[in-house]
């Protein structure tokens, strides 16, 4: 177990986040703006909760997971922006 005492259930939070991403992807297929907004909101909430509680025992694992969360969030925000439409309009 990589989590501190009292946080053995943290894997369930991660699974719930993944489950919500899957459900949102299926149910909001024809509403991309709502889909991306929801994904970003859930991801920010998860990252904030993880930052506040610091559930990992190992500080290196904590930093890696926070970095990965930040990377995913940056990707979601980039996808939601018009960045790709302006830079590579032929792909859109």
| All structural domains of the chain with their residue ranges | 10-91
User: How many whole angstroms separate alpha carbon 74 and alpha carbon 6?
Assistant: 30
Number of helical (H) and strand (E) elements in the chain, helices listed first: 4, 0
Q: What is the CA radius of gyration of the chain?
A: 16
Written as six digits, the tokens of 26 are 């299926």
- The position carrying tokens 């909101």 is 41
Q: Per-residue confidence of the chain (92 residues) as pLDDT tens digits?
A: 688 898 888 889 989 999 998 998 899 888 878 888 888 898 899 989 988 999 988 889 888 988 998 898 888 888 777 766 677 666 55
């Amino acid at each position: 177990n990589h989590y501190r005492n009292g946080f053995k259930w943290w894997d369930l939070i991660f699974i719930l986040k993944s489950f919500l991403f899957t459900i949102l992807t299926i149910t909001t297929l024809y509403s991309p703006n709502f889909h991306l907004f929801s994904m970003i909101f859930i991801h920010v909430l998860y990252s904030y909760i993880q930052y506040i509680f610091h559930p990992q025992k190992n500080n290196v694992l904590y930093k890696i997971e926070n970095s990965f969360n930040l990377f995913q969030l940056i990707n979601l925000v980039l996808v939601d922006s018009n960045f790709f439409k302006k830079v590579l309009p032929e792909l859109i």
